[in-house]
Structure 1
Amino acid sequence: MIFYEIERLRREQSYSMPLNHFHDHYEIYYLLSGKRYYFIQDRSYLMQEGDLVFIDKNKLHKTIDANSLPHERILLSFNDNWVPAKDPDYQETALAPFRQKHIIFSLSGANRTLVENLLFSLMREQQQAQKGWELNSKALLTQLLVFCARLIDQQGPTEEHPQAHNPKIFEIVSHINEHFQERLSLATISKKFHISPSYFCRSFKETTGFSFVEYLNNIRIREAQRLLRETKLKVIHIAEQSGFDSVAHFGRVFKQVTSQTPLECRKMMHLGL
């Protein structure tokens, strides 16, 4: 299934993204105005107008209010079927912005004008849907990606801006990412990092936008999806390797996060849907 979408949206009120958010497609997020915190994988970035962020496939992410209303953004999403997967140059160059450790670009001057013009052109192509709009959109998207890849080579990525008031939370997030297969609980985390459970819960939510349980479940389900896609392991073994104590609990959480059962998910993956 080919997936491609570009959307411009302005929000006047407070807004945070849905809790469960990782997916098997690429995203480009451009902030036209306002400020947002963007949590990606294991840290938060403060985004301001003119900032561009690249979200690789299956990276857990969420935008969070930064006490600045309103805000306006452009979100561009596409999957592997939209790009020439058999072209090694495309994979190495055009998709390079998604593969960097630091994936925030702060644009100004001519660079900002060029990127905004490309994004506006992409929106017009989709809205007008004239003959050849898909072909032209792919060309415009390639131009955008190559331009940003050249920025990486010329000036390097923009310095990141994590939420400095909670460095311990980022340390805990990294620990969860590395040890999600183990038995983790609020009590064990609090004891290991010498932090009170109530303070940990509040700070974790403020920093990441997720509760501890929501975040842990998302990380485990993402691993389960990988195992369903890449192995022939039985569901009971996938549950164990993903960190779940029982296959019943695994099934409930999996459906809550993905709206599918594990077997339904494996079938769709094998069909290429």
Structure 2
Amino acid sequence: MKEEHLPNQAPIANGYHETKKHTGFLFPYNVYPCTIPDDFPSVSLHWQDTMEIVYIKKGRGRAQVDLSVFEVHAGDIILALPGHLHGLRHIHGERMEYENIIFDMTFLGSGVIDLCSQKYLLPLLRNEWKLPVCVTPLDDCHASLSACLDNADMLCSLRPTGYELEVKADMMKFFSILFRTADPAKQEPPVPANIDRLKTILHLIEEQFQQPLTVEEAADVCGYSASHFMRWFRQVTGTSFIHYLNRFRLEKAFQELKTTEKTVLEISQEVGFDNLSNFNRLFKKQFLMTPRELRTVKKELPST
């Protein structure tokens, strides 16, 4: 699928609250082809003010939307509503190709005063509707939903006259199908406080990962004791705070090793490790290769 109006470059979240402008003002719809781990080892938990649909094309990996963590496979469609946490992780030995479909909700008419906006789009943005976060090929609605995405894909590649109208129509149909899968009588209340608290901790990690950051300091931000914080963090992320922090640091180091000529020692210190041996050990455990081996792989790749 061709990206619309922007260079063919996959977006990388620079912070947990993604503010990069992915969409154009006149036609706010963009698609980015991405591959994990080729482009980057993972997409850290983050949120943004735009809609994001992740369409898995090949392989398998892991995804998280808010507090739900699940494995994804080719054909799966992941829905990340504005303001909701989401991220992707690779599975060792696996390669996952997917498309990021990103657009502003105004593309569907959320800023218009009409029945569709008042009955569906605005309540969706207020978390008054609960749509499925992942649709798999086993779900009844999958064929119809994937047909909408595939047709929009074809239109953006060929760009026939009037294609913008049909892409918009495809997205409107996509959401009309999703709304039919939701049961208004069983809608859940707005996003729980746990999500807002987790966003606060993710922001703390983003701001201070290069510095010493303790469990006690993170717990204090939440108003929790250290022991309660550790239990809570594992419950909402599936891992410990220290493991999550180190994983974030290592992924920052991974990108630096691929894109700069800084020494391994310089990079390890910049991302918050004060012990090179520990950095090398954790890096190999995380990526199944040492930092120097990653550099060797990078040099052996053909130039483009």
TM-score if structure 2 supplies the norm length?
0.50
Does 2:216 align with 1:187? yes
Does 2:240 align with 1:200? yes
Please say if residues 50 and 108 of structure 1, whose CA atoms lie closer than 8 Å, have aligned partners that are also in contact: no
Matches within 5 A, 1:128-207: 128-153=158-183, 175-177=197-199, 186-188=215-217, 189=219, 191-193=226-228, 195=230, 200-205=240-245
Please say if residues 40 and 59 of structure 1, whose CA atoms lie closer than 8 Å, have aligned partners that are also in contact: yes
Cα 1:106–1:19 change in 2 (3 A) is closer
Question: What is the aligned residue count?
Answer: 194
Segments of 5+ residues of structure 2 without an aligned counterpart are 1-24, 188-192, 205-212, 220-224, 232-238, 253-304
Cα 1:81–1:97 change in 2 (3 A) is closer
Please say if residues 35 and 68 of structure 1, whose CA atoms lie closer than 8 Å, have aligned partners that are also in contact: no
SS of the residue aligned with 1:58? coil
SS of the residue aligned with 2:178? helix
Cα 1:90–1:67 change in 2 (3 A) is farther
User: Deviation per CA, 1:44-98, whole angstroms, max 9, x where unpaired?
Assistant: 3322333222111132322111235221222211103312122332454367777
Does 2:87 align with 1:62? yes
Does 2:85 align with 1:45? no
Aligned to 1:26: 51
Does 2:102 align with 1:80? no
User: Deviation per CA, 1:75-124, whole angstroms, max 9, x where unpaired?
Assistant: 21110331212233245436777742752222327633332222111011
User: Deviation per CA, 1:24-45, whole angstroms, max 9, x where unpaired?
Assistant: 2101112233222223334433
Aligned to 1:122: 152
Q: Distance in 2 between matches of 1:109 and 1:102?
A: 11
Matches within 5 A, 1:249-260: none
SS of the residue aligned with 2:100? strand
Equivalent AA in structure 2 for residue 187 of structure 1: E
Q: CA deviation at 1:4?
A: 0.8
Please say if residues 51 and 104 of structure 1, whose CA atoms lie closer than 8 Å, have aligned partners that are also in contact: yes
Aligned to 1:103: 133
Please say if residues 42 and 174 of structure 1, whose CA atoms lie closer than 8 Å, have aligned partners that are also in contact: no
Matches within 5 A, 1:215-230: none
Out of 116, 134, 138, the residue aligned to residue 89 of structure 1 is 116
- Which deviates more, 137-146 or 67-76? 67-76
Please say if residues 56 and 77 of structure 2, whose CA atoms lie closer than 8 Å, have aligned partners that are also in contact: yes
Equivalent AA in structure 2 for residue 26 of structure 1: M
SS of the residue aligned with 2:30? strand
TM-score if structure 1 supplies the norm length?
0.55
- C-alpha RMSD of matched pairs (Å): 4.2
Equivalent AA in structure 1 for residue 182 of structure 2: I
User: Which is helix-richer, 1 or 2?
Assistant: 1
Q: CA deviation at 1:137?
A: 0.6
